[in-house]
Amino acid sequence: MTFDIPRLKHTGSGNFFLIAGPCAIEGEQMAFDIAGQVNEMCNRLQIPYIFKGSYRKANRSKRDSFTGIGDEVALDILKRVGEHYDIPTTTDIHTEPEAALAAKYVDILQIPAFLCRQTSLLVAAAQTGKVVNIKKGQFVSPEAMKFAVEKVQEEGNPRVVLTERGTTFGYQDLVVDFRGIPVMRSFGVPVVLDCTHSLQQPNQSSGVTGGRPALIETIAKAGIAVGADGLFIETHPRPSEAKSDGANMLPLDRLEALLERLVRLRQAVTM
C-alpha cells in the first residue's frame, strides 16, 4: 500500500518505509545529525524515509519531566530538517489548535495512542489535508480502529495511516498481537509497526517508563514477516542521555545493520 507524501523517495523499491528519529527534539544539532545519518542509510538501502521528532511531549509520567525546547523552536527545526535533506517529517499533536499549527511545519500529523478516539482531534487533523498517522490505543482492538479511519476519511481526507504500538498487558507491560496488522490493513490503509513503543514498560514506580530495547529486532522482523507496510523506530546516539523515552530507543550506531537485515527479510517474504 502506498500514499502520496511530498519528498518521500524510493517508493518503487518494494521496501517497507521507515519512520525514525529521536523521541523528542532536544536541539538543532542533534536533530540534523540523526536525520542526516538515517537518511544516508535509507538512500543506500532504498528505504523510503520519514524523519520523526516530537516538538512537545504532552504525556509524561511526572510533572517535572522534559516536555520540549519550545513549540515553534522545535517545529522550525523539523521544517528545516525536511528542507535540508529533502525528506518528509512528522510530529505528534495533542489538541485541535495544534493540528493547524504543526501542519505549517510537517508533512504528517501523528495522533498519540491515548488520543486515538478523540473525535475532535482527528477531525482537526483531517481538515489540514495532511497525512494523518493514528496510533492504535493500547486499549483498543485492531477491529475498532476502522472507526478512527472513518473519522478522518469522512472529512474528505483519504490520507490515513495506522500504527500498531502494543496492547496493555497487566499494569506494567505491553504485548503485540500481530494478527492486528492484517486486520488493520484490510481497511485499505498502510499499517506501521512501532518497534520501540511496543516494548515500553509503563507505570513504573519510579515515574519513568521502562523498556526492552534488546527485543527491537525481534519485533521488527515479526512485523515485516506479517506484512507491515512500515516500521517506526525511535533512535538516539546515546539513549541513556535522551531526555524522553531513552529506555526503549535503539542506539543510532545499531540501526544500519538492523535495516540491512530487515531489507533482506522483506525481499524473502515478498518473493
> For position 128, which CATH number holds?
3.20.20.70
| pLDDT number for residue 248 | 80
**φ and ψ at residue 24, rounded to 5 degrees:** -130, 150
Burial class (CB in 10 A: 0-12, 13-18, 19+), 264: exposed
Domain that holds residue 154: 17-269
Q: How many domains does the chain have?
A: 1
Averaged pLDDT in 10-residue chunks for the chain of 271 residues: 81 96 95 98 98 84 70 96 98 97 98 97 98 96 98 97 93 91 97 90 54 86 97 93 81 96 95 75
Element of type H or E holding 259: helix 255-269
Task: Give 109's strand partners.
Answer: 91, 132
Give residue for cell 493500547.
138
Domain membership flag for residue 198: yes
Cα–Cα distance for residue pair 168/154, rounded to 1 Å: 29
Domain membership flag for residue 23: yes
Domain membership flag for residue 254: yes
Residues 54 and 25: beta-carbon distance below 8 Å:
yes
Calculate the CA dihedral of residues 191, 85, 251, 229 and round it to 10 degrees: 10
Cα–Cα distance for residue pair 249/192, rounded to 1 Å: 17
Domain membership flag for residue 231: yes
pTM attached to this predicted model:
0.93
Domain membership flag for residue 247: yes
| pLDDT number for residue 199 | 86
Domain membership flag for residue 253: yes
| pLDDT number for residue 198 | 86
Q: Give how far Cα 220 sits from Cα of 60, 181, 193, 224, 230, Å.
A: 26, 13, 7, 6, 10
Give residue for cell 507491515.
228
Cα–Cα distance for residue pair 180/252, rounded to 1 Å: 28
Angle at 21 between CA 23 and CA 8, to 5 degrees: 135
**φ and ψ at residue 12, rounded to 5 degrees:** -95, 10
| pLDDT number for residue 205 | 46
At 261, list the grid cell: 537485515
Domain membership flag for residue 11: no
Cα–Cα distance for residue pair 104/121, rounded to 1 Å: 17
Domain membership flag for residue 187: yes
